[in-house]
Structure 1
């Protein structure tokens, strides 16, 4: 049986990480990841949107109301059932903005902040959200509405990783890395760079990636794992084909600084990535098309956002201040 395109990318990423973990491709990692990105075979046509259930928005809304009324009673013993969580998770792809963004997302955030999840539920939800069928649903196809479910899955992963930290670390190191590996694969595969979509709500995939990256910097991941994930997120951002205009550069810059201000080793690695980025995309081109200028300004805005963050390490500030500001 032929291997799927997603599985092929996963295998190549796993191999690259093993090399990186052994220090064999420290300076080449970003170029190697870009090669993988460029080699991805995307489909030319969309297929009919596949959702996980046939539930309608009213059914999901009733479940949200039931959970909210119980939790908001401030009862210390209030719990959410596995069946209720299942209704929320299985409907993250609904195209109704009120139910998806303002309902499911807000409910999950409330459950996390009130520490309502059981320890087992944190992993069960993460395992569901990070599976291929959810995170990569229609991801190889041209711009499509499945992005709302994919992107919300990434956002909820960030929420649940915060819950893991609040609970004192209920995931094993292997489980945590398993989730991050899937999100790293997502960072390379995702090609839908829309922010807010009229009448449908937020896609915002690359902002949500920044949320996972920001949370992972405070985790028990190894240095190699953190830097590998940072590089995949930056390569995904660099490869976007349209200009970002909904704060993606700011979110990614804040997440980056969360990591690199922890120790000089991280800052040195990021400086190498930024220098490579400049070499690939000249600062003063003779000519450029729409794709070039989209990527050029995305980089410029990311650099500017790094400069605006007070905690950006001095060596990076000095490097960035030498760049022309347009």
Structure 2
């Protein structure tokens, strides 16, 4: 099957088409530990297939039904290590589906609400923070989960009556962090929240309020930790997240002003 998938990937734009059995195979191997099969072939073909409208209506339903019914972003989330690839690449597929749904509806309202909730809940529950795994490729759950979150909270149909549930994603990640991120996860988390603000699904006022409140919280945790490294790593990660936001939100002066104050405070405390 890998040979067939390679052949499909080599087809020029406009010539891509799939057999039903190929689509089923791709769904069944979404989290395969073979990095070429999972990342280079299957994920790339899902992205191209939806971008080029190469899937038939029946094939789209196969993908959607499998994604909704199985919600593999939560598969053995406290169990086998290799299932991280299934969860992480399910999150990437969710991002693709939401992007397409924003242009041409794929989901019912009930399905869409389930996916929105799942995108928020996934990052709260994920415990595997590995980036690149030798011989198995990218796990990168926090990055891929952030892509899924960004696709959800920037969707034109997204709404929430509990904005704190979104900001709690950051708290949950930080509470589990024991070593620094090394594969630009902070950048992907930051961009997800930028997408929410840009889509006006998160207000500037709410983000500024969160920045102030959480900055105070994380400094208090650091002070009370009395040198605990995990508390320092969380504070440092928060600093990197704010740095990313500072440049991403370049056209939002109120947010930039709030970030500037907090970034300067960190630098003054750490280096003066």
Name the TM tier (shorter chain).
0.7 to 0.9
CA contact (8 A) 1:253 1:306 kept: yes
Residue 131 (structure 1) shift: 4.3
Partner residue of 1:112 out of 28, 50, 75: 50
* Structure 1 residues 94 and 311: alpha-carbon distance in aligned structure 2, compared to 1, 3 A threshold: same
TM-score, normalised by the number of residues in structure 1:
0.71
Q: Which has the higher helix share?
A: 2
Number of the residue aligned with 1:101: 39
Give me the whole-angstrom Cα distance separating, in 1, the residues matched to 2:247 and 2:203.
19
Number of the residue aligned with 1:27: none
* Structure 1 residues 188 and 288: alpha-carbon distance in aligned structure 2, compared to 1, 3 A threshold: same
* Structure 1 residues 73 and 261: alpha-carbon distance in aligned structure 2, compared to 1, 3 A threshold: closer
1:187 and 2:119 correspond: no
Partner residue of 1:209 out of 145, 159, 171: 145
Number of the residue aligned with 1:4: none
Unpaired runs of 5+ residues, structure 2, are: 268-272
For the aligned residues, what is the CA RMSD?
A: 2.6
Q: Equivalences for 1:42-53 in 2 at 5 Å?
A: none
1:197 and 2:137 correspond: no
User: What's the secondary structure of 1:221's corresponding residue?
Assistant: coil
Number of the residue aligned with 1:10: none
Partner residue of 1:89 out of 27, 34, 37: 27
CA contact (8 A) 1:97 1:200 kept: yes
Give me the whole-angstrom Cα distance separating, in 1, the residues matched to 2:161 and 2:147.
16
User: What's the secondary structure of 1:322's corresponding residue?
Assistant: helix
Q: Deviations over 1:9-53 (max 9, x none)?
A: xxxxxxxxxxxxxxxxxxxxxxxxxxxxxxxxxxxxxxxxxxxxx
Partner residue of 1:234 out of 170, 179, 184: 170
With CA pairs under 8 Å and 6+ residues apart, which has the higher RCO, 1 or 2?
A: 1
TM-score, normalised by the number of residues in structure 2:
0.84
Unpaired runs of 5+ residues, structure 1, are: 1-58
Q: Deviations over 1:197-248 (max 9, x none)?
A: 1221111111112212222244233431694663353233323323212111
Number of the residue aligned with 2:270: none
Number of the residue aligned with 1:13: none
* Structure 1 residues 217 and 133: alpha-carbon distance in aligned structure 2, compared to 1, 3 A threshold: closer
Number of the residue aligned with 2:205: 268
